[in-house]
Chains A and B, each alone.
Chain A
């Protein structure tokens, strides 16, 4: 008997060791490229290109950052991205809440039909070209509206929000409020909104990150460089390898390799805001996934 438990324990020990090993390896696989990018952005570009940088910066320098941060396109892109993110997220959250609350009211007449109208769009859509024609015919092509309006609400997020409200605001509360003569609007403003802080945080983060990272609408609908968000500049520099130009690059003695570190640097510059807040807010993101998984 004793020996058999000992064997079992030994088996278990191997199993645990295996689990720790798998998790550790996967974590390192995720972490390594991230560390490498940051290190490379601070290193001498000749050495990065020759493969002398493996983990930590070699011959640390701020050269790439000095060049990148001097470019007006970057600051302009930053400004535009912030505008799209803030305005877009505000609009998203407002419309989502306006839609989710009535949809959470089980006794609303026509609820099923209205819900169907919304959820059908998750299964079928006009597609790229009809959207393009629409944006053009609305006359918002090449304006900031073209970036913000087409994605004003995500039906999926609305359903997550609705589920949250259904689960967290009991019907009895509404009934009691109604007996006291509280209107729907008052109930929404005084009870639902304060009690929905958690889901509002989740929605803000989801929409905010999506805006910060999106390039597609801007790419399709914007022609004017002054309106470009950061991601479009990133696309031009990282993917199309477009040149930044400028005397500080031409005069540099590592002009042949400088673009390698410039690319790493621009990644760090553009992603830094997200990753600075990420550790503090990741809990909320995960909460959102779980709310959504309950139903919907």
Chain B
């Protein structure tokens, strides 16, 4: 994060001819970024066309904003936007505070070995692949062969209904499996910030008779507030970029009413099965999402600049 410095020193730039080799270094990264990042941005023109593979991007007919209008008027529009927002905000609401609380808790643990071992364990799931995570979820919560099914069977004598057929359960699965996978990893940044707390504050508070819990609230927490704000900005900035990969794997025809979000719909319209002729339509949907996302990043950044002087650029 860049902290805005009032009147930061002006650095004298060098004669670019002396740095010709540095520009040469940048050549390859530049080519990469132009070809694989900026060309696709240019490719967004297909959203305003009726793209036909044979005619190519430039040969296809212009249709203006027809593709966007088609999406807004489609009966899926409302559901998709609601799903995208609900899933995004549910996700942030749950997965943001838990790492903070965990960091404060583990920071109060004094046994160093215990701390180290537990941290190693809780960070581990971060490295599990999305495919494996969803696979494990589906097996453990299988209504007959999984732990879940067998526990319910043991208690009630009957096997429960299939949770993966339930749109309601989909949201909880999506959010809580992410918490399981990432709460430890996400807390690293806070534990790092907490390790910089000046012990003399704690000593002073102790002298005044503050309990350990009070010191967590009044000494530890304020220290990590800047980190919390920064992380929140980052999260908010990406609120609508729901991971396609995981949702796509968890999606099935029975939970589609809760699991169809913008990115999966783009895939379905543009690439999967019968949608193969719908490149333009799918691009328009994706672009609509990206533009909203972009505006959101800019707004969040503006606000945070005003409020906390912490900003992303």
A213 on interface, CB distance cutoff 8 Å: yes
The reply to whether A128 and B270 contact each other, CB–CB distance below 8 Å, is yes
Q: Number of contact residues on B: which range applies?
A: 35 or more
Q: A30, A102, A110, A125: which contacts B124 (Cβ < 8 A)?
A: A30
A127 on interface, CB distance cutoff 8 Å: yes
**Chain B 18-47 residues near chain A, CB threshold 8 A:** 19, 21-23, 25-26, 28-30, 32-33, 35-44, 46
A8 on interface, CB distance cutoff 8 Å: yes
The reply to whether A153 and B33 contact each other, CB–CB distance below 8 Å, is yes
Can you list, as one digit per residue, whether each of A242-278 has a CB less than 8 Å from chain B (1) or not (0)? 0000000000000001001001100100110011001
Chain B hits for A188, CB < 8 A: 25
Q: How far is the CA of A159 from the CA of B310 in the complex (A)?
A: 17
The reply to whether B127 and A213 contact each other, CB–CB distance below 8 Å, is yes
Can you list, as one digit per residue, whether each of B138-166 has a CB less than 8 Å from chain A (1) or not (0)? 11100011010111011000000000000
Q: How far is the CA of A182 from the CA of B178 in the complex (A)?
A: 50
Chain B hits for A264, CB < 8 A: 139
The reply to whether A133 and B57 contact each other, CB–CB distance below 8 Å, is yes
Q: A23, A24, A126, A263: which contacts B44 (Cβ < 8 A)?
A: A126
The reply to whether A34 and B124 contact each other, CB–CB distance below 8 Å, is yes
A132 on interface, CB distance cutoff 8 Å: yes
Chain A hits for B140, CB < 8 A: 33, 36
Q: Which of A111, A184, A257 has the most CB of B within 10 A?
A: A184
B277 to chain A, nearest CB (A): 12
A107 on interface, CB distance cutoff 8 Å: yes
The reply to whether B189 and A290 contact each other, CB–CB distance below 8 Å, is yes
The reply to whether A95 and B29 contact each other, CB–CB distance below 8 Å, is yes
Can you list, as one digit per residue, whether each of A95-117 has a CB less than 8 Å from chain B (1) or not (0)? 11011011001111111001001
A293 on interface, CB distance cutoff 8 Å: yes
Q: How far is the CA of A138 from the CA of B32 in the complex (A)?
A: 13
Q: B21, B127, B290, B294: which contacts A209 (Cβ < 8 A)?
A: B127
A19 to chain B, nearest CB (A): 5
Given contacts A29-B180, A105-B19, A105-B22, contact A282 B120 (CB under 8 A): yes
A191 on interface, CB distance cutoff 8 Å: no
Q: Flag the segment in A10-18, A61-69, A196-204 that touches B.
A: A10-18
Q: Which of B12, B13, B25, B287 has the most CB of A within 10 A?
A: B25
Chain B hits for A274, CB < 8 A: 127
Can you list, as one digit per residue, whether each of B182-197 has a CB less than 8 Å from chain A (1) or not (0)? 0111001100110000
Q: Flag the segment in B73-81, B87-95, B167-175, B208-216 that touches A.
A: B208-216
Q: A108, A117, A128, A295: which contacts B2 (Cβ < 8 A)?
A: A295
Given contacts A215-B245, A274-B127, contact A127 B211 (CB under 8 A): no
The reply to whether B13 and A51 contact each other, CB–CB distance below 8 Å, is no
Nearest neighbor of A277 in chain B, beta-carbon distance = B127
Q: B11, B131, B185, B237: which contacts A235 (Cβ < 8 A)?
A: B131
The reply to whether B270 and A132 contact each other, CB–CB distance below 8 Å, is yes
Chain B hits for A4, CB < 8 A: 209
A119 on interface, CB distance cutoff 8 Å: yes
Q: How far is the CA of A161 from the CA of B267 in the complex (A)?
A: 33
Given contacts A30-B125, A263-B139, contact A184 B19 (CB under 8 A): yes
The reply to whether A15 and B212 contact each other, CB–CB distance below 8 Å, is yes
The reply to whether B121 and A31 contact each other, CB–CB distance below 8 Å, is yes
Q: How far is the CA of A123 from the CA of B295 in the complex (A)?
A: 10
The reply to whether B132 and A130 contact each other, CB–CB distance below 8 Å, is no
Q: A12, A212, A286: which contacts B129 (Cβ < 8 A)?
A: A212
Chain B hits for A195, CB < 8 A: none
A134 on interface, CB distance cutoff 8 Å: yes
**Chain B 249-266 residues near chain A, CB threshold 8 A:** 249, 263, 266
Chain A hits for B37, CB < 8 A: 121, 125-126
Q: How far is the CA of A264 from the CA of B142 in the complex (A)?
A: 13
Given contacts A98-B25, A99-B29, A275-B124, contact A128 B267 (CB under 8 A): yes
The reply to whether B1 and A98 contact each other, CB–CB distance below 8 Å, is no
Q: How far is the CA of A95 from the CA of B245 in the complex (A)?
A: 26
A3 on interface, CB distance cutoff 8 Å: no
B residues contacting A by CB (< 8 A) are 1-2, 11-16, 19, 21-23, 25-26, 28-30, 32-33, 35-44, 46, 57, 102, 105-106, 108-110, 114, 118, 120-125, 127-132, 134-136, 138-140, 144-145, 147, 149-151, 153-154, 180, 183-185, 188-189, 192-193, 209, 211-213, 227, 237, 244-245, 249, 263, 266-267, 270-271, 279, 282-283, 286-287, 289-290, 293-294, 297, 313
